[in-house]
Structure 1
């Protein structure tokens, strides 16, 4: 799959009978820029961070509500995975098939070996709708909580919900 090919995301969602609402917008590599375009989109907008451990042999996708701030040191203590650092662009491409500014839950579509472990803030379970980039930052996709759960099961990636803040 080519980097940022959101057609693959739509193919998988269709295969899983997951309904989504697409909101196109200009490229938004940061949350601060994306907020300008979410307007009428009623959902919990998610921040998606991609980390590696200090040895570089384990990778973690951390997903939480976009308005929350996490300090890496605090996150390391909560995740109990040792020292973390942001994954490089090369690692984003290899494990999620995305570029910086486009990290998303849907990157798991490209993780064929289920290498990436996913941590979610447990507060996301209280949201009726969630939104993520479709593996590129020129749109946002809104999906229901039940479809979010369906996709997560389909991905096969190990995951857990934690109290991140």
Structure 2
């Protein structure tokens, strides 16, 4: 067991308790640690729900933060996205900011991290095509050794509970 294991377990339990309180059901999969979707491909991992990537971004001055959710295979043009969203240059936020705003580490970024953004400082951007096509999303419970598949209506309820709003974006 490494030093961060108790903290990871605590976060997972907090998220599970939140979902239980909201009467949100999820399908849970345990697997080896996965930093990327490509690693899941290499081990032949099959799970239900839409496979996604979660990108934690910031504007060029670090005043605004964004969680972008899209299909795992969708290419992202940050310059075009910044222009379309009328924000200054976009880039990946630091691990320090990721920990501060979403209580997550690299490789464990998840929409479920919005639970920890209690001041709603992170803006949620979801790929419009993904949101219209999906029935449920694969989410890490801030632990890349598990995947929880949550239905779109239940995710919507979770997002509302965290007092965030969904901004659909065209990628």
2:51 is matched with which residue: 28, 45, 48? 45
Q: TM-score, normalised by structure 1?
A: 0.92
TM-score by length of 2: 0.89
Unaligned runs of 5+ in 1: none
Q: Give the corresponding residue for 1:75.
A: 81
Name the larger-Rg structure.
2
- Return the offset for 1:158: 3.3
From the superposition, tell whether residues 151 and 35 of structure 1 become closer, same or farther in structure 2 (CA, over 3 Å): farther
Q: CA deviation at 1:3?
A: 5.6
Could you list the runs of 5+ residues in structure 2 that have no partner in the other structure?
1-5
Which of residues 152, 156, 161 is equivalent to 2:163? 156
Equivalent position of 1:11 in the other structure? 17
- The answer (yes or no) to whether the contact 2:56–2:66 under 8 Å persists in 1 is yes
Runs of 4+ deviating beyond 6 Å: none
Aligned residues: 164
The residue that corresponds to 1:143 in the other structure is 150
**Structure 2 counterpart of 1:22:** 28
CA RMSD in angstroms comes to: 1.8
Q: Deviations over 1:110-139 (max 9, x none)?
A: 101111001001122321121111111111
